[in-house]
Amino acid sequence: MEYISKSNIAKIVGNTLVNASTTDRCKKIISWSWEMLGSILIMMGSPLSVKGLDSDDDCKDKITAKETEKEFTLVLDLDETLIRSEMERTSFLDEEIIVKIGNTIEKYYVKIRPFARDFLKALSKYFELVIFTAALKEYADKVIDYLDPSGFIKRRFYRDSCTKKDGVFYKDLTKVNSNLEKTFIIDNSLSGMSLNPQNGLLIKSWYDDLKDQELKIYDAMLKKNVKPKENIVQCIKQMKRKYPKNVLN
């Protein structure tokens, strides 16, 4: 193995490292480090043979590990937030979903809110996405499977996870994540987020407006205002001041 001097390393870095991808840089730097160590061992008379990386796998894992971690959990309501459903077919509600609850078979007709699938895809890169609905599991699972065939939604919470009082179902976000500095909810119902109002963003209920832009607005708003290492409660306070017409005050 040729001895790699300090000047030779500078030449190699100048010629090959500048235009290399992040993965290639990682591989080259580690390989050069092994070569330098090998040269030193050979000069010292060591019988050890030192090899560089044979593949990119280890390097890629180290580079992307932090990138794939989701710091924040975004909890989403289902009905009138992401979809609308009814038990009677109309020309507007076009997707039929059959739900079995006990011995009863029920049919629901569903329409997905404009931009909902794009919203899930885009924000899944930044947040852990969770559904928290007051609906029954049997119904919610069918609807979510239709809404999110790609599996961007990672966890699901149903009526049995809600806190019921005086006939109203409340959503306690600590059941999703005990760290409320990193957890927030988007819901069309004030009661749905009333247990953790400082962690909630209110969205306009959706019924049939095909020109609705709310999810597109929220997509851009969250990307711009939720910053790494920050307390989500403070981020929400800032958004409420900046976008009073779109979020809960």
Q: Among all residues, which ones are annotated catalytic?
A: 77, 79
Number of H helices, E strands in the chain: 7, 10
Residue 84 is inside which H or E element, if any? strand 83-86
Q: How many residues does the structure list for the chain?
A: 249
**Cα–Cα distances in angstroms (integers) from residue 219 to residues 14, 77, 118, 129, 165, in the given order:** 41, 15, 9, 13, 32
Give the strands of the sheet with 95-101, arranged side by side: 83-86, 104-112, 95-101
Q: Are strands 168-170 and 163-165 parallel, antiparallel or unpaired?
A: antiparallel
Residue type, position 135, single letter: A
Neighbours of 184 (CB within 10 A): 25
Closest listed residue to residue 109, CA positions, set 120, 119, 94, 124: 94
